[in-house]
Chain A
Amino acid sequence: MASGVKPRVKVPKSAAAGDAITIKTLISHQMESGQRKDKDGNTIPRSIINRFTCDFNGQNVVDVKMEPAISTNPYIEFESTVPEAGEFKFTWYDDDGSIYDTTKKIAIG
Chain B
Amino acid sequence: MKGCSLIIRYLLIFILMVSIVAFAFINISSSTILSKDYVLSKLQETNYYEGIYKEILSNFENYVGQSGLDESVMSDILTQEKVKDDVNVMIDNIYEGADKEIDVTEIRDRLNENIKEKMEEEGVKAADDTAIETYINRICDEYTKTMTHTEYEQNINNVFMKILKFSQIGRKALLITMLVCIIFIFVICYKRLFKGISSIGISLLSSGIFYIFINIYINTKIKIDAITVLNSSISNTLRTIMNNIMSNVANYGYILFAIGIVLIIFGNLIDSIKYKKEEED
To the question of whether A and B form a pair in one complex, the answer is: no
Residues of A within 8 A of B (CB): none
Residues of B within 8 A of A (CB): none
